[in-house]
Amino acid sequence: MDINSTIYVAGHRGLVGSAITRALHKNGYSNTVLRSRTELDLQDRNSVFHFFEQEKIDYVFLAAAKVGGIVANSEYPADFIRDNLLIQTNVIDAAYRFGVKKLLFLGSTCIYPKFAPQPMKEEYLLTGELEPTNQPYAIAKIAGITMCQSYNRQYGTNYISVMPTNMYGPNDNFDLKTSHVLPALIRKFHEAKVNHAIQVEVWGTGLPRREFLHADDLADACLFLMNNFEGNEIVNIGVGEDISIKELAYLIKDVVGYEGEVVFNSSIPDGTPRKLVDVTRINELGWKASIPLEEGIRAVYDTFQKDYLVRQ
């Protein structure tokens, strides 16, 4: 990307989009085009086409998506597949029709089969059944990947797709009903500490293992790939290490300073038993994650106390 390129970050207020925006500005890319959901409805094809026609976009980071944890995915499956299909279809097609030079599509490692061998290599995509609790979201993301690859083949576009592992960082969603596990645990332990609760309930058995990537590391990887990679192969972005939910819970307990008991509710489904990505491809391209998990969690907890709680 030229330093003066016109760059559109779709979803700039979310966890990933805000991190990409920060990374762009940090690296001198000041000509960013940003629109909130109220300013531009990405599910409205006509509005999206008008926006691309007017703004003459050079590069797109497609980070806009409807996301959520197990509960949200289970309760709103139609919303997850419809909204994501509309958003990505409109943006990808507009990028082609209005001459965007390159687009980076943010997928998710939940697209891999539920029982994929670990760590998950990029070629494991579509080799087995999906995790039922997030299948509608995963299918939408798989459609987005396939759409990017198909446009590349038919129209000669330059669209790349990346698969980040579980994310956390500033601007995360701390709503206990719709958030992912790490921010949910931060809020649970904080509220238990403040309210002097004798115990904190953690959903599931605590046995599943997850990999967690700080949003600033992901943003750095996205800029790196936008400048150094092209092709139809998908690229995993992760740290290459995982941790059990039980270990995560006790780590967050320590960071927050909660002194009560931790109990695990095994009546809540665990989801995929393990989700660790193989990061050989991106490491060989020349990029590695740099933010240790405990350091990242401490920074997020500081942000949570300063920013999120003030807005409540």
Distance CA 201, CA 263 (A): 5
Q: Based on the residue annotation, tell me whether 112 is a catalytic residue of this protein.
A: no
- Binding residue per annotation — 188? yes
User: 12: annotated binding-site residue?
Assistant: yes
* CA 257 to chain CA centroid, nearest Å: 28
The answer to whether 107 is a known ligand-binding residue is yes
Q: Is 287 annotated as a binding residue?
A: no
Establish whether 253 is an annotated binding residue.
no
Q: Which residue has the tokens 């500490």?
A: 193
CA angle 123, 126, 129 (to 5 degrees): 130
Selected catalytic residue, list 8, 59, 112, 137: 137
Per the annotation, does 9 bind a ligand? no
Q: Is 210 annotated as a binding residue?
A: yes
Asked whether residue 180 is marked as a ligand-binding residue, the answer is yes
Annotated ligand binding at 15? The verdict is yes
Is 16 a known ligand-binding residue? yes
CB 114 within 8 A of CB 272: yes
Residue 17 annotated as part of some ligand binding site:
yes
Q: Which residues are catalytic?
A: 137
Annotated binding site: 11-17, 106-109, 141, 180, 188, 203, 210, 270
Annotated binding site for substrate: 188, 203, 210, 270
Annotated binding site for NADP(+): 11-17, 106-109, 141, 180
